[in-house]
Amino acid sequence: ANVVKPCLYQKYKNYGASWNSPSPSRFMNHRVPAHKRYQPTEYEHAANCATHAFWIIPSILGSSNLYFLSDDDWETISAWIYGLGLCGLFVVSTVFHTISWKKSHLRMVEHCLHMFDRMVIYFFIAASYAPWLNLRELGPWASHMRWLVWIMASVGTIYVFFFHERYKLVELLCYVVMGFFPALVILSMPNTEGIWELMTGGVFYCLGMVFFKSDGRIPFAHAIWHLFVAFGAGTHYYAIWRYLYLPSTLQTKVSK
């Protein structure tokens, strides 16, 4: 008994010291092997939730704004598609990270939500291109690309279903191809208004991918990736709002 008491005392003493000291391990766990999933710290979990939950309300309001600015059926349909993709991205991400943080014992639920979180990225990319492909004059390839982006999103979804977290570099490559391939048509627009905003948003996404693959190397890497996604989505939303939906009279005033 005399031996056990000092050991217990030392254990709790060390625990209290580690809680009061700002140890880096509280902000970032060790990097995991390629075939394993990174487990965020408590602080990283909270940051992962907050950095996308914050954008749910703005995305709903922004999508509603596009809907009310729509003048015809194509604009209405495009607003719905884009709005669902934008809101779905932030909602699904927030739900998954919340469950992963607070209900991690629900293994099957967490696994399904993680898959859904990765799947929705493909549909968000397709939805982000939808207004440009539907509302801009792009030439003969535009009509094919309208459907091709959704075929690519479906293929990506099937890939996640069968190979989730198995080949992480392949998964990242799929996102890159999905993100840039439709741009071959978009960048050929005779009307170049919005090009710079589209390119800027693409740069945000590309920079964010560096952090997307940096869990265990950079503290709060995934939360930083979330912020880059929000900046990229915000930049693209601005371009869609200003150049595709803003009434021509107001657009003239803005351009001046």
Q: Is 222 annotated as a binding residue?
A: yes
Token pair, residue 1, equals 């008994």
Q: Is 97 annotated as a binding residue?
A: yes
Token pair, residue 172, equals 């990242």
Q: Is 236 annotated as a binding residue?
A: no
Annotated binding site: 97, 222, 226
Residue ranges at the known binding site for Zn(2+): 97, 222, 226
